[in-house]
Amino acid sequence: MKVLRFLLIVVYVGYLVHVGLMMLLLPWNAVWPLLLSRMPPQAALVLDAPAVRGAISGFGLLHLLLLAAELFTPRSPGAAR
């Protein structure tokens, strides 16, 4: 049971790091216009707005803050068994 819990934690941390960094950095990367060129024009127009790009980056930052909170919040030894 401990191995399964460890694997679940590793997958959860990996998800938070991967999605957080991707959403934080990708909207301001040179790849962003290439991704938008493959979308319908209306969606590309909305997603290219600086406010939407900032919102996406903010959501990525929230993922990273959640990761920091999960890693640095002390847990009691008997909690979540």
pLDDT, tens digit, 9 for 90 and up, residues 6-57: 899 899 999 999 999 999 999 999 999 999 999 999 999 999 999 999 999 9
**69 CB contacts (<8 Å, ≥6 apart)?**
none
Cα-based distances in Å from 76 to 70, 73, 80, 81:
13, 10, 9, 11
pTM for the model stands at: 0.82
Number of H helices, E strands in the chain: 4, 0
